[in-house]
Amino acid sequence: MKLSIERVSKQYRGKVWALRDFTLDLRPGVLGLLGPNGAGKTTLMSILATITRATQGRVLWNDTDLAENPDAIRAVLGYLPQDFGVYPNLNAVEFLEYLAAVKGLDAAASRRRIDELLNLVNLADVRKRPLGGYSGGMKQRIGIAQALLNDPQLLIVDEPTAGLDPEERVRFRNLLSELSGERIIILSTHIVSDVEATATDIALISSGTLVAHATPEELLRQVEGKVWEQVVPSDQLTAAKQKYLISGTTRRSDGVHIRVLASAAPNGAQPLAPTLEDAYLYCLTAHRAGAAA
C-alpha cells in the first residue's frame, strides 16, 4: 500500500501557485501535514481526495495514476474536508446511510458500521435527531464518522479537531493512533500538539513547497541544543522578541520566561529539551530565511 505524490503543482486562477513541485512517498502510518495558514495543505488534500486536479505532476495510488483511474483511490478513500455541510433534515443515521449508499456499501454491512461509528464518535444518544440541531463539534464528529464509513485504506483528515472540545480532541487523537496500523492516514493541521500525539511522520509545508519530511525524532534532533530559556523583565520583552526567535513566553513572579531558539545560548539562558513546536518554528524560519536569501 503506497501513495506517491510526484512533482505536483497547482495553479489557481490569477496565476497563484498553491503548490509547487511537491513530492512525497507515503506508506502505512500517520503523516502529520504541518504548515501555516495558506501553505497549501488544503489544496494538497483536495488533490489527493480527487476534488481538484493538479496543474502539473501526478499522484499514484499503488502505482495507479489518479488521473487515469480516480475511482481506484475513491474506492478506498475516507475524506474529512476542512469545510463540509450536512443535510439538516436528516438525522445522523439517515445521513450516514445516505453516504454509505453513495459510497457503494452493502446495506447490512453499512448498518452495523454506522452503529459502531456512532458509538465511536459518541453520538449514539442523539442518532435520531436532525443534524440541523447539532452543534459545530457534533457536526465535526459526524464528519469523522462518514470518513470512516468504508473502512478506508487512505484516510485524509483536514483540520479534524477544529471545533472539538478537549475531551473529544483526545478521543480523536487516540482513534487516529488505533486506526493507523494498515492504512495511510494524512492529518493536515496547524495544531502541533495534534501531530505530536499521533504522527509517525511529519511533512512541513510552506508556500506550497515541502520544507521537510521526517520522523518526529529526526525533526527534534534538528533543534537539539538550540532551545533555551531566559528570564527577562516585562519591559524588555519587546526588545527580546526583536532579537531572538521566541517559541513561547510564560509570565512568572521573577519576570517573563522566554523560550528562545538560537544556535548559541543567550546571556544567562539555560538549555531546554526541544518540543515539536520548537522544531516546526525553527524549520519554517530557516526555510523562509533561505527563500528570502
Partner 1 sequence: MTSTRVLYHLVRADFLERVRRYSFLVTLAMAVYLGYGCFTGKVVARLDDYRGVYNSAWLGSLMTLVATVFLSLVGFYVVKNTIQRDQETRVGKILATTPMTKSFYTVAKMISNFAVLAAMVAVMALVALLMQALKAEDPNLDLWALLSPFVIFALPAMAFTGAMAVLFETLPVLRGGAGNVIYFFVWTALLAAPVASLDKGATVSRAAYFSDFTGIVSIMGQMQQDLHKIDPHYTHGSALTIGDTQTTRKFLWTGLRGSPALYLSRVTCVLLAVGLALLASLFFHRFDPAREWFSRKARKEREPAVANGEPVVTFTSPPQAAAHLTPLQRSQNAASLPRLVLAELKLMLKGHRWWWYAVAAGLFVASLVSPLEATHGGIAIVALLWPVLLWSQMGTREARFGTASLIFSSEGSLWRQLPAVWLAGVVVAAVTNGGLGIRLMAARDGHALTAWIACTLFVPSLALALGIWSGTSKTFEAVYTVWWYVGVANHMPGMDFLGTTAESARPAMFLMMAAALVVASYLGRRAKLAYA
Nearest to 20 by CA among 29, 32, 7, 33: 7
Q: In 3-state terms, what secondary structure has residue 224?
A: coil
Q: What angle do CA 286, 290, 293 make, to 5 degrees?
A: 140
Is the CB of 174 or the CB of 250 nearer to partner 1? 174
Residue 12 binding partner 1, by CB under 8 A: no
CB atoms within 10 A of CB 163: 16
Q: Identity (one letter) of the amino acid at 122?
A: N
Binding letters toward partner 1, positions 178-207, x by CB under 8 A:
-x----------------------------
Distance between CA atoms of residues 123 and 114, nearest Å:
11
Residue 165 binding partner 1, by CB under 8 A: yes
Single out the residue of 1, 25, 71, 270 in contact with partner 1 (rule: CB under 8 A). Answer: 71
Nearest to 33 by CA among 162, 201, 147: 201
The window from 73-81, 242-250, 251-259, 284-292 that contacts partner 1 (CB under 8 A) reads: 73-81
Is the CB of 49 or the CB of 246 nearer to partner 1? 49
Contact predicate 34/216, CB 8 Å:
no
Is the CB of 185 or the CB of 227 nearer to partner 1? 185
Binding letters toward partner 1, positions 90-109, x by CB under 8 A:
x---x--xxxxxxxxxxx-x
CA R_g for the chain = 21
Single out the residue of 9, 150, 188, 247 in contact with partner 1 (rule: CB under 8 A). Answer: 150
Q: How far is the CB of 16 from partner 1 (least distance, A)?
A: 17
The window from 15-23, 80-88, 207-215, 269-277 that contacts partner 1 (CB under 8 A) reads: 80-88
Total binding residues toward partner 1, as defined by CB under 8 A: 62
Q: Helix H segments across the chain?
A: 41-48, 70-74, 92-102, 107-120, 136-147, 166-179, 192-198, 216-222, 237-243, 276-292
Residue 157 binding partner 1, by CB under 8 A: no
Residue 17 binding partner 1, by CB under 8 A: no
CB atoms within 10 A of CB 50: 17
Residue 3 binding partner 1, by CB under 8 A: no
Contact predicate 4/48, CB 8 Å:
no
Distance between CA atoms of residues 81 and 95, nearest Å:
16
Residue 205 buriedness (CB in 10 A; 0-12 / 13-18 / 19+): buried
Residue with cell 475511482: 71
Single out the residue of 2, 7, 27, 129 in contact with partner 1 (rule: CB under 8 A). Answer: 129
Single out the residue of 126, 231, 245, 265 in contact with partner 1 (rule: CB under 8 A). Answer: 126
Single out the residue of 9, 43, 46, 180 in contact with partner 1 (rule: CB under 8 A). Answer: 46
The window from 132-140, 202-210, 221-229, 235-243 that contacts partner 1 (CB under 8 A) reads: 132-140
Residues of this chain that interact with partner 1 (CB under 8 A) are 46, 49-53, 66-67, 70-71, 74-75, 77, 79, 81, 83-90, 94, 97-107, 109-110, 112-113, 116-117, 119-120, 122, 125-126, 129-130, 132-135, 138, 146, 148, 150-151, 165, 167-168, 175, 179
